[in-house]
Amino acid sequence: MASASLQFFAFILALTGAFGDIAATLLPNWKVNADVGSNIITAITQMQGLWMDCTWYSTGMFSCTLKYSVLSLPIYIQAARTTMVLSCILSAFGICITTVGMKCTKLGGDRDSKSHACFAGGLCFILAGIFGLIPTSWYTREIISNFLDQTIPESSKHEPGGAVYTGFISAGFLLIAGVIFCTSCFKKQQGAWIYPPKQHHFPATEQESNAGYNLKDYV
């Protein structure tokens, strides 16, 4: 019962991480630049994401521009796009597989099949978490290095936005969920190896006597 509850808790973590991963991929605020200027009325907030750049004015106007050209983007943005999409796909696969392998569901067949499915889903969550950490860490490093560069003007410097923090938290949830699923299945298999099922061995004389008795019945 405790293992089933732990798996259900890990599934909730993975589901939250998957939705956060998708949100972080689509949000336009991976890096933010707030330019107040000389007048608070003309203050603007510039946000840059993986797929679009947005500008929000203090008057309430909001405009976005999609990034159509892929080759013109920096290498870290191209890598972030690829890894975040892979993270979303792996987390979706992990949710589908662990739904079959969880102990609280009636899918997946026997106990060994459910254990293998649970372990495979845990591996998908771990890979999704790793693919989610790579772009957020690389993107944050680029933001910090540009912010500390004295040759770059202040108007061109940015700070990490909410999408980066969402990606970090979602990747952590996916990693924790994957470790819980893998360790729960590993403990189950380890117990089967340490305590194998007992096999009853009958003496040969007893088996021969039973065979002889059965032959007498047919004579």
Domain spans of the chain, in order of start: 4-28+70-194
What per-residue confidence (pLDDT) applies to 18? 95
Is the pLDDT reported for residue 194 higher than 80? Answer: no
Q: What is the 3-state secondary structure (H, E, C) of the chain?
A: CHHHHHHHHHHHHHHHHHHHHHHHHHCCCCEEEEECCCCHHHCEEEEECCCEEEEEECCCCEEEEECCCCCCCCHHHHHHHHHHHHHHHHHHHHHHHHHHHCCCCCCCCCHHHHHHHHHHHHHHHHHHHHHHHHHHHHHHHHHHHHHHCCCCCHHHCCEECHHHHHHHHHHHHHHHHHHHHHHHHHHHHHHHHHCCCCCCCCCHHHHHHHHHHHHHHHC
Pick the CATH number of 4-28+70-194 from 3.60.15.10, 1.20.140.150, 3.40.462.10, 2.60.120.200: 1.20.140.150
What per-residue confidence (pLDDT) applies to 128? 96
What per-residue confidence (pLDDT) applies to 183? 87
Q: Which tens digits make up the pLDDT trace of 18-53?
A: 999 999 999 999 999 866 555 555 567 888 999 999
Q: Output the average pLDDT for the chain.
A: 81
Q: Which tens digits make up the pLDDT trace of 157-176?
A: 888 999 999 999 999 999 99
